[in-house]
């Protein structure tokens, strides 16, 4: 099956879930002999892993595909693939609109991608020499179209197996000093919330939770290869819940079931006999069973169904980060209802207060950092609704907040039932107003950190230092040639070449609460610091960044 020496360009759009999918795809294609390049022009196979959450992300992909038309005329054997949410959402329409596309593969079918690409490459090879028109017609009929989310296809169990095989196939290779020591691990796929604006439940399908043993094994393998920070991924990560079959396996020994309660995080047998592994259980088990993880994070939390058990585990486990991304979307109860978010703003506030009460401990150097997402200009949004969002933003005091203009997405309830009636000018003005407010809040949180010391995971040479030196940011070895929105993935991880070791360099790293810290070190020490956790004292804050010294 392998078609060695073929070169692949893989560009990723959208969320961390897509970044992880791209990493897994790249791993499985590399193992089959494909090589990767960061330059689309050098590739025999161009793949876009796409996002449909907002129209803008889709437009970028359309324009990339448009740009490939000329190239395809001169290189008819070029294979073009659209992966991820756009493949799922647009299906055959996408090929009609964009005949350059040879392969489509929805997010639920990515384990079959190597086969699809191989088919496409072979089809092209067998058509070499035919007249271009025949070749195009024939190859169009050979298109290996895949797009079938678990909501539409057969049983949830079948979907579960197919999805699991991609994560299970993960290639873990030992990390060299050039590489980030940070990895994503999926715990849940899909989403069942059906917020009325959101396309994710339609493209990624029903919520499916991975078995805890698979998750823990993956974490162990990553740690063995040199990873020290793991971020667990799910659309609603705190909904994680795994129902075990008739017996559970603990350390490989089958245990009779006895029902479960969380008995405190210092009890190693806390989960013996468990029938269900909850998110709190999972966090605790990973923390205890994989001590090599120096930092454990998770994304994204849903503001409902977040029990005190999870907060207790985070509080009691020193290596779980005090950082929670928990989008409110709006401060208006009327709009929360129209969005089908399932909570009121009072409930959201209560949640934030509860999280702070449990986790905000600046006196032991562990301030809690929150971040959020907001949608402005949701249909019918009034000035009063917008004011309510401003007050919510003030109260929440996020470290940072992603603010989006509402983008109507075909297939969603809001698209079908509620006209997009807010003028783009108003959307933009409200967006800017919130951005200005958030910048002030972020600044003030940064200033509060001056004079304090933090454990900082040193990620590499800062972007500013690269600009100053005119050096290139080198991507990590496992990720060479994968780009995210056109930029090298995993930047700014990099070390200095022998010839570059002069003077001092600025390194960048992150605190447990995900604050970015810059600090200068002698160039001769830089390479040894990258990928380690160090104590950094913050000397001053300038706009959203902290500056310190070792
Ligand atoms: N328009 C604008 N923003 C959206 N998001 C999701 N769907 C839309 C949409 N149709 C935002 C939400 C979500 C984030 C990932 O993207 O804020 O939390
Ligand atoms: Fe979309 Fe809502 Fe699910 Fe988040 S929780 S992925 S916004 S449907």
The Cα 513–Cα 520 span in angstroms is 21
* Domain boundary assignment for the chain: 7-145, 322-448, 453-549
The Cα 158–Cα 150 span in angstroms is 8
User: Which residues, 6 or more positions from 72, have their beta carbon under 8 angstroms from its beta carbon?
Assistant: 78, 80, 100
pLDDT for position 394: 98
**May I ask the CATH architecture of the domain 7-145?**
3-Layer(aba) Sandwich (3.40)
pLDDT at 251 over 60: no
pLDDT at 313 over 60: yes
Top-tier CATH class for 322-448 = alpha beta
Contact yes or no for 180/490 (Cβ under 8 A)? yes
* Ligand 1, atom 14, residue with closest C-alpha: 373
The helix/strand/coil state of 326 is coil
pTM of this prediction exceeds 0.85? yes
Q: List the one residue out of 246, 229, 257 whose CA is nearest residue 320.
A: 229
Percentage, residues of the chain above pLDDT 90: 66
pLDDT range class, residue 470, cuts 50, 70, 90: confident
Chain CA centroid to CA 546, Å:
24
Beta-bridge partners for 361: 366
pLDDT for position 143: 47
Among 200, 300, 406, which is best to mutate for testing ligand 2, by the most ligand atoms less than 8 A from CB?
200
pLDDT at 269 over 50: no
pLDDT at 144 over 60: no
The Cα 262–Cα 313 span in angstroms is 10
Helix (H) or strand (E) holding 282: helix 279-289
Q: Which residue has the higher pLDDT, 158 or 50?
A: 50
Cα three-residue angle 282-288-291, rounded to 5 degrees? 120
pLDDT digits 0-9 by tens, 424-441 = 999 999 999 999 999 999
CB-defined site of ligand 2, < 6 Å: 191, 193-195, 198, 200-201, 235-236, 302
Helix (H) or strand (E) holding 50: strand 45-50
pLDDT for position 268: 39
Among 196, 201, 301, 341, which is best to mutate for testing ligand 2, by the most ligand atoms less than 8 A from CB?
201
pLDDT range class, residue 539, cuts 50, 70, 90: very high
pLDDT for position 4: 55
Whether 327 is in the pocket of ligand 1, judged by its Cβ within 6 Å, is yes
pLDDT digits 0-9 by tens, 367-423 = 999 999 999 999 999 999 999 999 999 999 999 999 999 999 999 999 999 999 999
401 token code pair: 């907040």
Strand runs (DSSP E) across 199-309, as ranges? Answer: 208-209, 229-233, 241-243, 248-250, 253-255, 276-278, 295-299
pLDDT range class, residue 266, cuts 50, 70, 90: very low
pLDDT for position 256: 39
pLDDT digits 0-9 by tens, 217-245 = 999 999 998 899 999 999 999 999 999 87
């Amino acid at each position: 099956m392998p078609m060695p020496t073929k070169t692949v360009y893989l560009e990723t759009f959208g969320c961390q879930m897509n970044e992880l999918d791209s990493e897994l795809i790249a791993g499985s294609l590399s193992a089959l002999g494909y090589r990767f390049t960061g330059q689309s022009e050098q590739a025999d196979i161009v793949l876009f892993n796409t996002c449909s959450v907002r129209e803008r992300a889709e437009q970028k992909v359309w324009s990339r595909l448009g740009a490939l038309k000329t190239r395809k005329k001169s290189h008819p054997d070029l294979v073009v693939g659209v992966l991820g949410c756009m493949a799922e959402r647009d299906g055959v329409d996408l090929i009609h609109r964009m005949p350059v596309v040879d392969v489509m593969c929805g997010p639920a079918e990515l384990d079959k991608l190597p086969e699809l690409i191989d088919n496409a490459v072979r089809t092209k090879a067998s058509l070499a020499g035919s007249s271009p028109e025949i070749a195009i017609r024939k190859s169009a009929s050979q298109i290996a179209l895949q797009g079938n989310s678990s909501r539409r296809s057969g049983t949830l169990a079948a979907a579960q197996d197919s999805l699991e095989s991609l994560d299970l196939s993960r290639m873990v290779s030992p990390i060299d000093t050039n590489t980030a020591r940070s990895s994503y691990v999926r715990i849940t796929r899909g989403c069942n919330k059906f917020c009325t604006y959101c396309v994710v439940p339609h493209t990624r399908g029903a919520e499916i939770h991975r078995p805890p043993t698979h998750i823990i094994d993956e974490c162990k393998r990553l740690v063995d290869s040199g990873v020290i920070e793991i971020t667990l991924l799910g659309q609603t990560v705190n909904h994680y819940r795994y129902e075990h079959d008739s017996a559970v396996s603990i350390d490989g020994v089958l245990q009779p079931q006895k029902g479960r309660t969380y008995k405190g995080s210092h009890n190693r047998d806390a989960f013996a006999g468990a029938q269900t592994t909850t998110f709190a259980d999972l966090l605790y088990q990973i923390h205890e069973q994989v001590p090599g993880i120096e930092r454990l994070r998770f994304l994204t939390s849903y503001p409902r169904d977040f029990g005190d058990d999870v907060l207790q585990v985070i509080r009691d486990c020193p290596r779980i980060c005090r950082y929670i991304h928990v989008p409110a979307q709006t401060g208006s109860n009327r709009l929360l209802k129209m969005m089908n978010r399932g909570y009121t703003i009072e409930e959201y506030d209560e949640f934030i207060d509860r999280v702070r009460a449990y986790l905000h401990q600046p006196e032991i150097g562990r301030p809690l950092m929150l971040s959020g997402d907001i949608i402005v200009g949701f249909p019918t949004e009034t000035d009063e609704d917008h004011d309510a969002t401003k007050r919510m933003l003030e109260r929440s005091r996020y470290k940072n907040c992603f603010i989006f203009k509402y983008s109507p997405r075909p297939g969603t309830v809001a698209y079908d039932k509620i006209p997009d009636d807010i003028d783009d000018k108003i959307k933009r003005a409200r967006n800017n107003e919130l951005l200005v407010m958030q910048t002030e809040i972020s600044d003030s949180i940064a200033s509060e950190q001056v004079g304090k010391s933090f454990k900082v995971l040193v990620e590499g040479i800062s972007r500013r230092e690269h600009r100053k030196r005119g050096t290139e940011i080198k991507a990590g070895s496992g990720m060479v040639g994968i780009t995210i929105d056109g930029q090298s993935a995993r930047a700014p991880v990099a070390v200095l070449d022998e010839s570059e070791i002069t003077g001092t360099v600025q390194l960048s790293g992150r605190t447990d609460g995900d604050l970015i810290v810059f600090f200068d070190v002698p160039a001769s020490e830089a390479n040894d610091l990258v990928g380690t956790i160090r104590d950094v004292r913050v000397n001053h804050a300038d706009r959203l960044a902290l500056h310190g010294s070792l």
